[in-house]
Amino acid sequence: MIIIFLFLTSFQVNEQEKTKRIIEKMFQSIDQIRSLQFRLKKKERVNGEILSGEQEVKFIRNPKKIYTKIIAPNEGAEVLFIEGKNNNHAYINPNAFPFITLSLDPYGSIMRKNNHHTVHEVGFDYINSIVKFIANKSGENFGKYFIYDGDTIFNNRKCHKILIDYLPFKYVNYTVKKGEKLADIAYKLFISDYMIMNINEDIDDYNDVEEGQVIKVPNAYARKTYLYIDQENYLPLIQIMYDEKGLFSKYEFHNLVLNPVIPPEEFTKDFEDYNF
Protein backbone atom coordinates (compact mmCIF):
# COMPACT_ATOMS: atom_id res chain seq x y z
CA MET A 1 0.00 0.00 0.00
CA ILE A 2 2.85 2.37 0.86
CA ILE A 3 4.53 1.64 -2.47
CA ILE A 4 1.28 2.28 -4.36
CA PHE A 5 0.74 5.54 -2.45
CA LEU A 6 4.27 6.73 -3.20
CA PHE A 7 3.86 5.83 -6.87
CA LEU A 8 0.58 7.71 -7.16
CA THR A 9 1.99 10.73 -5.33
CA SER A 10 5.05 10.78 -7.61
CA PHE A 11 2.80 10.44 -10.68
CA GLN A 12 0.64 13.37 -9.56
CA VAL A 13 3.72 15.55 -8.95
CA ASN A 14 5.14 14.65 -12.37
CA GLU A 15 1.82 15.43 -14.07
CA GLN A 16 1.61 18.75 -12.27
CA GLU A 17 5.16 19.70 -13.29
CA LYS A 18 4.44 18.66 -16.88
CA THR A 19 1.29 20.78 -16.94
CA LYS A 20 3.14 23.75 -15.46
CA ARG A 21 5.91 23.46 -18.07
CA ILE A 22 3.37 23.36 -20.91
CA ILE A 23 1.58 26.44 -19.60
CA GLU A 24 4.86 28.31 -19.10
CA LYS A 25 5.95 27.43 -22.64
CA MET A 26 2.60 28.74 -23.88
CA PHE A 27 3.21 32.05 -22.09
CA GLN A 28 6.69 32.31 -23.61
CA SER A 29 5.47 31.46 -27.10
CA ILE A 30 2.67 34.04 -27.03
CA ASP A 31 5.03 36.72 -25.68
CA GLN A 32 7.28 36.19 -28.71
CA ILE A 33 4.55 36.77 -31.30
CA ARG A 34 5.15 39.70 -33.64
CA SER A 35 2.51 38.98 -36.27
CA LEU A 36 -0.09 36.37 -37.22
CA GLN A 37 -2.33 35.23 -40.03
CA PHE A 38 -5.13 32.75 -39.41
CA ARG A 39 -8.73 31.76 -39.97
CA LEU A 40 -10.79 31.98 -36.80
CA LYS A 41 -13.86 29.85 -36.27
CA LYS A 42 -15.88 30.77 -33.22
CA LYS A 43 -18.98 29.90 -31.26
CA GLU A 44 -20.32 32.26 -28.60
CA ARG A 45 -23.43 32.13 -26.45
CA VAL A 46 -25.33 35.37 -26.99
CA ASN A 47 -28.69 35.92 -25.31
CA GLY A 48 -28.96 32.19 -24.65
CA GLU A 49 -28.24 31.15 -28.24
CA ILE A 50 -24.98 29.75 -29.65
CA LEU A 51 -23.91 31.94 -32.58
CA SER A 52 -21.20 30.85 -35.01
CA GLY A 53 -18.76 32.97 -36.99
CA GLU A 54 -15.72 32.66 -39.21
CA GLN A 55 -13.16 35.20 -40.35
CA GLU A 56 -9.75 35.61 -41.98
CA VAL A 57 -7.36 37.68 -39.85
CA LYS A 58 -4.06 39.52 -40.32
CA PHE A 59 -2.48 40.83 -37.12
CA ILE A 60 0.60 42.84 -36.16
CA ARG A 61 1.18 43.30 -32.45
CA ASN A 62 3.13 46.55 -32.12
CA PRO A 63 1.88 49.00 -33.13
CA LYS A 64 -1.37 47.05 -33.29
CA LYS A 65 -2.73 46.57 -36.80
CA ILE A 66 -5.62 44.26 -37.59
CA TYR A 67 -7.43 43.38 -40.78
CA THR A 68 -10.39 41.00 -40.69
CA LYS A 69 -12.53 39.69 -43.52
CA ILE A 70 -15.76 38.08 -42.38
CA ILE A 71 -16.57 34.71 -43.93
CA ALA A 72 -19.73 34.15 -41.87
CA PRO A 73 -22.31 35.26 -40.92
CA ASN A 74 -21.88 38.64 -42.70
CA GLU A 75 -19.92 37.34 -45.68
CA GLY A 76 -17.64 39.92 -47.29
CA ALA A 77 -17.70 42.46 -44.46
CA GLU A 78 -14.29 43.86 -43.52
CA VAL A 79 -12.69 45.49 -40.49
CA LEU A 80 -9.42 47.47 -40.44
CA PHE A 81 -7.92 48.84 -37.24
CA ILE A 82 -4.62 50.73 -37.06
CA GLU A 83 -3.44 51.82 -33.63
CA GLY A 84 -3.03 55.59 -33.43
CA LYS A 85 -4.88 56.26 -36.69
CA ASN A 86 -8.45 57.35 -37.42
CA ASN A 87 -8.92 58.47 -33.80
CA ASN A 88 -8.38 54.79 -32.83
CA HIS A 89 -11.63 53.92 -34.54
CA ALA A 90 -11.98 51.00 -36.94
CA TYR A 91 -12.83 51.25 -40.62
CA ILE A 92 -15.82 49.05 -41.45
CA ASN A 93 -16.98 47.79 -44.81
CA PRO A 94 -20.38 46.28 -43.90
CA ASN A 95 -20.82 44.85 -47.44
CA ALA A 96 -24.47 45.79 -46.96
CA PHE A 97 -26.61 48.90 -46.65
CA PRO A 98 -25.56 51.74 -46.50
CA PHE A 99 -22.71 50.42 -48.73
CA ILE A 100 -20.20 52.98 -47.52
CA THR A 101 -17.09 52.73 -45.35
CA LEU A 102 -17.92 53.45 -41.73
CA SER A 103 -15.67 54.60 -38.89
CA LEU A 104 -16.73 53.06 -35.57
CA ASP A 105 -15.51 52.86 -31.98
CA PRO A 106 -14.32 49.26 -31.35
CA TYR A 107 -15.86 49.47 -27.87
CA GLY A 108 -19.20 50.79 -29.15
CA SER A 109 -22.40 48.77 -29.13
CA ILE A 110 -22.68 48.71 -32.94
CA MET A 111 -19.37 46.94 -33.47
CA ARG A 112 -19.92 44.70 -30.47
CA LYS A 113 -23.39 43.51 -31.40
CA ASN A 114 -23.57 39.72 -31.07
CA ASN A 115 -19.87 39.51 -30.17
CA HIS A 116 -18.18 38.72 -26.86
CA HIS A 117 -15.04 40.68 -27.71
CA THR A 118 -13.72 43.79 -29.42
CA VAL A 119 -11.13 43.93 -32.17
CA HIS A 120 -8.54 44.54 -29.43
CA GLU A 121 -8.79 40.92 -28.24
CA VAL A 122 -7.77 39.45 -31.60
CA GLY A 123 -4.96 36.89 -31.36
CA PHE A 124 -3.58 35.18 -28.26
CA ASP A 125 -2.70 38.03 -25.90
CA TYR A 126 -6.11 38.10 -24.24
CA ILE A 127 -6.23 34.39 -23.39
CA ASN A 128 -2.60 34.69 -22.29
CA SER A 129 -3.46 37.35 -19.70
CA ILE A 130 -6.48 35.38 -18.46
CA VAL A 131 -4.55 32.14 -17.95
CA LYS A 132 -1.60 33.96 -16.33
CA PHE A 133 -4.00 35.56 -13.87
CA ILE A 134 -5.63 32.25 -12.95
CA ALA A 135 -2.24 30.53 -12.65
CA ASN A 136 -0.95 33.21 -10.29
CA LYS A 137 -4.23 33.26 -8.38
CA SER A 138 -4.17 29.47 -7.96
CA GLY A 139 -0.90 29.47 -6.02
CA GLU A 140 -0.53 26.15 -4.19
CA ASN A 141 -3.71 24.89 -5.87
CA PHE A 142 -2.21 25.02 -9.37
CA GLY A 143 -2.17 21.23 -9.62
CA LYS A 144 -5.78 21.11 -8.45
CA TYR A 145 -7.09 23.54 -11.05
CA PHE A 146 -4.69 22.93 -13.99
CA ILE A 147 -4.99 19.36 -15.23
CA TYR A 148 -3.17 17.60 -18.05
CA ASP A 149 -5.90 15.82 -20.01
CA GLY A 150 -3.83 13.86 -22.51
CA ASP A 151 -2.83 14.41 -26.13
CA THR A 152 -5.12 15.09 -29.06
CA ILE A 153 -4.98 15.95 -32.77
CA PHE A 154 -6.30 19.17 -34.30
CA ASN A 155 -5.86 19.87 -38.01
CA ASN A 156 -3.21 17.15 -38.19
CA ARG A 157 -1.20 18.82 -35.43
CA LYS A 158 -0.40 17.12 -32.15
CA CYS A 159 -1.68 19.08 -29.18
CA HIS A 160 -1.52 18.93 -25.39
CA LYS A 161 -5.00 19.10 -23.89
CA ILE A 162 -5.11 21.18 -20.71
CA LEU A 163 -8.19 21.56 -18.49
CA ILE A 164 -8.43 24.57 -16.21
CA ASP A 165 -11.07 23.47 -13.72
CA TYR A 166 -11.54 26.57 -11.59
CA LEU A 167 -13.58 25.09 -8.75
CA PRO A 168 -14.05 28.38 -6.81
CA PHE A 169 -15.91 29.98 -9.76
CA LYS A 170 -18.76 32.15 -8.53
CA TYR A 171 -20.33 35.60 -8.85
CA VAL A 172 -19.42 38.30 -6.35
CA ASN A 173 -20.42 41.90 -5.72
CA TYR A 174 -18.34 44.70 -7.25
CA THR A 175 -18.73 48.43 -6.67
CA VAL A 176 -18.15 50.50 -9.82
CA LYS A 177 -15.36 53.05 -9.47
CA LYS A 178 -15.41 56.59 -10.86
CA GLY A 179 -15.18 56.66 -14.65
CA GLU A 180 -15.27 52.88 -15.08
CA LYS A 181 -17.02 51.14 -17.94
CA LEU A 182 -17.56 47.40 -18.20
CA ALA A 183 -14.44 47.00 -20.34
CA ASP A 184 -12.32 48.71 -17.65
CA ILE A 185 -13.69 46.36 -15.00
CA ALA A 186 -13.20 43.30 -17.19
CA TYR A 187 -9.60 44.15 -18.07
CA LYS A 188 -8.80 44.85 -14.43
CA LEU A 189 -10.31 41.58 -13.17
CA PHE A 190 -9.39 39.41 -16.22
CA ILE A 191 -13.01 38.50 -16.89
CA SER A 192 -15.56 38.95 -19.69
CA ASP A 193 -17.41 42.26 -19.93
CA TYR A 194 -20.06 40.47 -22.02
CA MET A 195 -20.62 38.07 -19.14
CA ILE A 196 -20.93 40.99 -16.70
CA MET A 197 -23.58 42.61 -18.87
CA ASN A 198 -25.36 39.31 -19.38
CA ILE A 199 -25.71 38.43 -15.69
CA ASN A 200 -26.83 41.91 -14.60
CA GLU A 201 -30.34 42.34 -15.95
CA ASP A 202 -30.37 46.08 -15.19
CA ILE A 203 -27.33 46.71 -17.43
CA ASP A 204 -28.39 47.25 -21.05
CA ASP A 205 -25.12 48.43 -22.56
CA TYR A 206 -21.36 48.26 -21.97
CA ASN A 207 -21.42 51.89 -20.81
CA ASP A 208 -24.54 51.52 -18.67
CA VAL A 209 -22.87 51.68 -15.23
CA GLU A 210 -22.08 54.54 -12.88
CA GLU A 211 -19.90 55.24 -9.89
CA GLY A 212 -21.08 53.51 -6.71
CA GLN A 213 -23.31 51.02 -8.51
CA VAL A 214 -23.07 47.48 -7.11
CA ILE A 215 -23.02 44.82 -9.79
CA LYS A 216 -22.37 41.09 -10.01
CA VAL A 217 -19.12 39.93 -11.60
CA PRO A 218 -17.55 36.47 -12.01
CA ASN A 219 -14.40 35.83 -9.98
CA ALA A 220 -12.76 34.22 -13.04
CA TYR A 221 -13.23 34.29 -16.80
CA ALA A 222 -14.78 30.81 -16.90
CA ARG A 223 -15.78 27.88 -14.70
CA LYS A 224 -13.92 25.47 -16.97
CA THR A 225 -11.51 26.12 -19.82
CA TYR A 226 -10.02 23.61 -22.26
CA LEU A 227 -6.87 24.55 -24.15
CA TYR A 228 -5.50 22.52 -27.06
CA ILE A 229 -1.87 23.63 -27.10
CA ASP A 230 0.21 22.86 -30.18
CA GLN A 231 3.15 20.62 -29.25
CA GLU A 232 5.47 22.45 -31.67
CA ASN A 233 4.67 26.16 -31.34
CA TYR A 234 2.88 25.96 -27.95
CA LEU A 235 0.01 28.19 -29.03
CA PRO A 236 -3.55 27.40 -27.82
CA LEU A 237 -5.15 26.52 -31.15
CA ILE A 238 -8.48 25.67 -29.50
CA GLN A 239 -9.96 27.50 -26.50
CA ILE A 240 -13.25 26.30 -25.03
CA MET A 241 -14.88 28.08 -22.08
CA TYR A 242 -17.79 26.98 -19.90
CA ASP A 243 -19.75 28.74 -17.20
CA GLU A 244 -22.35 27.20 -14.90
CA LYS A 245 -24.88 27.12 -17.79
CA GLY A 246 -22.67 25.21 -20.22
CA LEU A 247 -20.69 26.31 -23.28
CA PHE A 248 -19.90 30.02 -23.14
CA SER A 249 -17.47 30.31 -26.07
CA LYS A 250 -15.19 28.31 -28.36
CA TYR A 251 -12.40 29.57 -30.60
CA GLU A 252 -10.48 27.57 -33.20
CA PHE A 253 -7.38 28.88 -35.00
CA HIS A 254 -6.98 27.37 -38.47
CA ASN A 255 -4.25 27.87 -41.11
CA LEU A 256 -2.11 29.66 -38.55
CA VAL A 257 1.03 31.39 -39.85
CA LEU A 258 3.33 32.54 -37.06
CA ASN A 259 5.29 35.79 -37.45
CA PRO A 260 4.71 36.31 -41.19
CA VAL A 261 6.07 39.42 -42.90
CA ILE A 262 2.95 41.37 -43.90
CA PRO A 263 3.52 44.30 -46.30
CA PRO A 264 2.49 47.69 -44.80
CA GLU A 265 0.04 48.35 -47.65
CA GLU A 266 -2.10 45.45 -46.43
CA PHE A 267 -3.02 47.61 -43.45
CA THR A 268 -4.40 50.47 -45.52
CA LYS A 269 -8.00 50.78 -46.62
CA ASP A 270 -6.86 51.48 -50.17
CA PHE A 271 -5.18 48.09 -50.58
CA GLU A 272 -6.28 46.60 -53.91
CA ASP A 273 -7.71 43.39 -52.42
CA TYR A 274 -10.01 45.26 -50.02
CA ASN A 275 -13.35 46.95 -50.63
CA PHE A 276 -13.43 49.85 -48.19
Residue 101 is predicted with a pLDDT of 96
Closest to 125 (Cα-Cα) out of 178, 180, 82, 62: 62
Q: Do residues 81 and 203 share a domain?
A: no
CATH number, position 186: 3.10.350.10
Q: How far is CA 235 from the centre of its chain?
A: 13
Q: Do residues 80 and 153 share a domain?
A: no
Residue 6 is predicted with a pLDDT of 43
Q: Is there a contact between 35 and 262 (Cβ–Cβ < 8 Å)?
A: yes
Q: DSSP assignment of 66-104, as one string? A: EEEEEEESSTT-EEEEETTSGGGPEEEE-SSTT-S-EEE
Task: Tell me whether residue 249 is in a domain.
Answer: no
Residue 147 is predicted with a pLDDT of 96
SS (H, E, C) 149-212: EEEEEECCEEEEEEEEECCCCCEEEEECCCCCCHHHHHHHHCCCHHHHHHHCCCCCCCCCCCCC
Q: Do residues 101 and 89 share a domain?
A: yes
Q: Do residues 162 and 133 share a domain?
A: yes
**With a cut of 70, which residues of the chain have pLDDT below it?**
1-13
Q: Do residues 142 and 230 share a domain?
A: yes
Residue span of the structural domain in which 64 resides: 35-120+259-267
Q: Do residues 136 and 226 share a domain?
A: yes
Domain count, the chain: 3
